[in-house]
């Protein structure tokens, strides 16, 4: 029995929606919360989920709005929580958190059809807001799926909506989404695009490269388990072997005893670009994910910079502007080379400087090597790499903390760490032995996708290594991590971290993830990368070089008219559903027409049967009864009840005209 809610002053009492509608509304809001959970604080997600579940349970016990004395404190608590967590209610992340919270609180007062419609509209907006954080294929499909319970909720509010199970209610709305795909595709292609979003491109809260101009042992930890793609590299010809897949980002000279730092802009600008003798080179193209930094990773060692970027003295590539959107650039790099064969005095001084009063045991070890090998710098380098290979060192993502003398603690005590620890300790040893050395950070390795013919480099492929300057050879790459864990270079980061992350090393999981990336690449290129520039070239295959806004508008209008015409034709050609009540009335009309009583155009069934009763006095009572039954069946119910309908059809079949003589 429908529940009447308390009436507001001057308004009639509203009828509460049934449990089926409320369940669908709750499911809609649960979908919104699930899609936003990845960027909401865990405690806020948990609190909103508990609130939603409690409201659903409470509504099952008794219909009615939650008292205002409870809603207002919850609203104030939500606002306070967002402000404390984000520092403001303005912005993409805090705005989304507040919107999702308000949506869940809206459920506390959702009782009438109007409340439900408002809640569904708000939920659809919140669903679209999830795309501000991620526009990948998987999330886009999930947002589309999230529309199913919203559509099912609106259809359940229809007066004649039949009682159905939840799977049937959701499945029936798939047709609505499918019917919208052609028009959505038309709008995607032809609605004129702005060069930047109308709301201004919302910058991400945090750069995701994990690379910065500072490196301290331990700050790569989160990055090394981040499995998101960092960039994709396509080569002209055969890709380089795994041991040459080093991508240079930052070159670091300054060391303060704990951290390595990139040279200040003024120090870099006073130096010329390092000379290079090229042995072999390769051309390639990089699709870089947004990093919100200016550095552009390049295969070691780049020979030039792409447009709108500069080649720095240490052969780093730096863009003129931060990379806030996916960037595609082409480069050529040397695989075999001699980098800076002649070292100037200033670079030598930078490559040997060390802070005083740190790591005495490391300094003593380096002096022993110098005494043993004399001026043979290459032999000292080999001795250091042998130490890492044979000295009982262990590659781990959870190393023990280090003290003030970080290198001494690492070399002689903990002997565990990952690439940052090894690169830092090796570089310090080289400088203490009098060999110019520096740290380089970037990426190493990647997965070669044979289907897409590109190298997939993930954030977890971030790496740090060293460069030492040797007479006659220039700057030479030395990777101490490879001495400790060779599979880090030959098999990739997943193999090196396999003992800490056994799930990560499973072949089937890695294969599935890497193959799925080709779908993501297509999506990024064809959908998220479809910008204003590509839209202007949309009609190039048809001989139109620049598609202006007017042309797009005309095509959009023509396409919309065409789709409307197709939809109307489809609707007109559809067979109308069988109407047994109308068929029975037509049978009665044919019986009366044989007696000369023909129904006039525009004459309603009531007036027609009254006229027939006047013309046939002997059948007046029977016709009056048929008229009353028809009107009740047609207008008193959403669908005619089965038994009364059968009785009416039986009465029509048995009707016989009797004339008075």
Tokens read off for 324: 């806030």
* DSSP class of 525: I
Using an 8 Å Cβ cutoff, are 438 and 505 in contact? no
Active site residue 205: no
Q: Which of 424, 440, 457 has its CA nearest to residue 209? A: 457
Distance CA 61, CA 18 (A): 12
Distance CA 478, CA 465 (A): 7
Q: Among residues 314, 409, 479, 517, which one is catalytic?
A: 479
Q: Which of 103, 96, 79 has its CA nearest to residue 30? A: 103
Q: Which of 351, 120, 111 has its CA nearest to residue 253? A: 351
CA-based R_g, the chain, Å: 37
Using an 8 Å Cβ cutoff, are 16 and 114 in contact? no
Listed in sequence order, the residues at least 6 apart from 181 whose beta carbon sits closer than 8 Å to its beta carbon are none
Q: Which helix (H) or strand (E) holds 621?
A: helix 620-635
Residue with tokens 């199913």: 148
Per the DSSP assignment, residues forming a β-bridge with 276 are 339
Q: Among residues 23, 300, 314, 419, which one is catalytic?
A: 419
Active site residue 479: yes
Active site residue 619: no
CA dihedral (152, 157, 162, 163) in degrees, to 10, reads: 70
* DSSP class of 313: T
Q: Which of 200, 239, 212 has its CA nearest to residue 457? A: 239
Using an 8 Å Cβ cutoff, are 130 and 143 in contact? yes
Q: Among residues 36, 262, 421, 463, which one is catalytic?
A: 463
Distance CA 362, CA 410 (A): 10
Give Dmax (Cα) for the chain: 142
Distance CA 481, CA 395 (A): 8
User: What is the bridge-based pairing of β-strands 416-417 and 474-478?
Assistant: unpaired
Which residue numbers are catalytic? 419, 463, 479
């Amino acid at each position: 029995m429908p529940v009447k809610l308390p009436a507001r002053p001057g308004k009639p009492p509203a009828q509460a929606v049934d449990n089926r509608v409320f369940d669908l509304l709750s499911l809609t809001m649960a979908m919104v919360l699930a899609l936003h959970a990845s960027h909401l604080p865990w405690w806020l997600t948990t609190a909103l989920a508990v609130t939603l579940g409690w409201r659903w349970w409470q509504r099952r016990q008794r219909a009615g709005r939650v008292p205002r004395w409870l809603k207002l404190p919850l609203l104030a608590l939500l606002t306070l929580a967002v402000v404390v967590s984000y520092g403001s209610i303005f912005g993409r992340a805090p705005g989304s958190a507040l919107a999702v919270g308000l949506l869940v609180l809206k459920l506390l007062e959702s009782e009438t059809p109007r409340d439900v419609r408002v809640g569904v509209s708000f939920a659809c907006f919140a669903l679209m807001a999830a795309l501000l954080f991620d526009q990948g294929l998987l999330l886009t499909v999930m947002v589309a799926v999230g529309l199913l319970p919203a559509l099912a909720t609106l259809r359940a509010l229809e007066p004649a909506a039949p009682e159905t199970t939840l799977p049937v209610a959701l499945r029936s709305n798939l047709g609505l989404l499918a019917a919208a795909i052609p028009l959505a595709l038309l709008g995607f292609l032809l609605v004129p695009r702005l060069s930047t979003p109308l709301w201004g491109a919302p910058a991400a809260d945090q750069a995701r490269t994990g690379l910065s101009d500072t490196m301290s042992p331990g700050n790569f930890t989160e990055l090394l388990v981040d499995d998101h793609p960092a960039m994709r590299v396509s080569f002209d010809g055969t890709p380089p072997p795994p041991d040459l897949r080093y991508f240079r980002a930052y070159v670091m000279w300054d060391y303060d005893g704990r951290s390595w730092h990139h040279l200040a802009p003024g120090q870099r600008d006073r130096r010329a670009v390092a000379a290079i003798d090229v042995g072999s080179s390769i051309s390639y193209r990089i699709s870089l994910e947004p990093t919100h930094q200016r550095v552009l990773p390049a295969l070691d060692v780049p020979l030039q910079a792409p447009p709108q970027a500069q080649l720095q003295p240490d052969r780093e590539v730096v863009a003129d502007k931060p990379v806030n959107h996916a960037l595609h650039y082409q480069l050529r790099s040397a695989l075999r080379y001699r980098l800076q064969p002649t070292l100037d005095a200033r670079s030598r001084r930078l490559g040997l400087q060390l802070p005083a009063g740190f790591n005495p045991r490391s300094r003593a070890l380096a002096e022993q090597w110098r005494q043993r090998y004399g001026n043979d710098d290459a032999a000292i380098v080999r001795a250091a790499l042998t130490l890492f290979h044979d000295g009982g060192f262990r590659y781990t993502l959870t190393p023990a903390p280090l003290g003030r003398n970080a290198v001494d603690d690492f070399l002689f005590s903990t002997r565990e760490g990952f690439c940052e620890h090894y690169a830092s300790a090796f570089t310090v040893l080289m400088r203490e032995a009098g060999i110019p050395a520096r740290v380089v950070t970037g990426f190493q390795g990647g997965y070669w996708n044979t289907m897409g013919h590109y190298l997939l480099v993930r954030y977890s492929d971030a790496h740090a290594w060293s460069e030492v300057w040797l007479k006659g050879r220039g700057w030479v790459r030395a990777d101490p991590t490879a001495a400790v864990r060779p599979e880090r270079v030959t098999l990739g980061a997943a193999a090196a971290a396999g003992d800490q992350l056994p799930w990560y090393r499973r072949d089937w999981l890695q294969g599935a993830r890497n193959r799925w990336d080709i779908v993501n690449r297509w999506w990024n290129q064809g959908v998220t990368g479809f910008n204003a520039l590509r839209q202007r070239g949309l009609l190039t295959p048809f001989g139109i070089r620049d598609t202006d806004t007017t042309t797009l508008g005309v095509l959009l209008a023509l396409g919309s008219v065409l789709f409307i015409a197709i939809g109307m034709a489809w609707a007109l050609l559809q067979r109308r559903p069988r109407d047994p009540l109308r068929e029975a009335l037509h049978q009665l009309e044919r019986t009366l027409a044989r007696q000369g009583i023909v129904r006039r155009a525009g004459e309603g069934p009531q007036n027609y049967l009254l006229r027939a009763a006047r013309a046939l006095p002997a059948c007046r009572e029977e016709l009056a009864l048929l008229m009353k039954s028809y009107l009740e069946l047609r207008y008193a119910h959403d669908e005619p009840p089965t038994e009364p309908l059968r009785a009416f059809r039986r009465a029509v079949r048995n009707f016989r005209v009797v004339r008075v003589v």
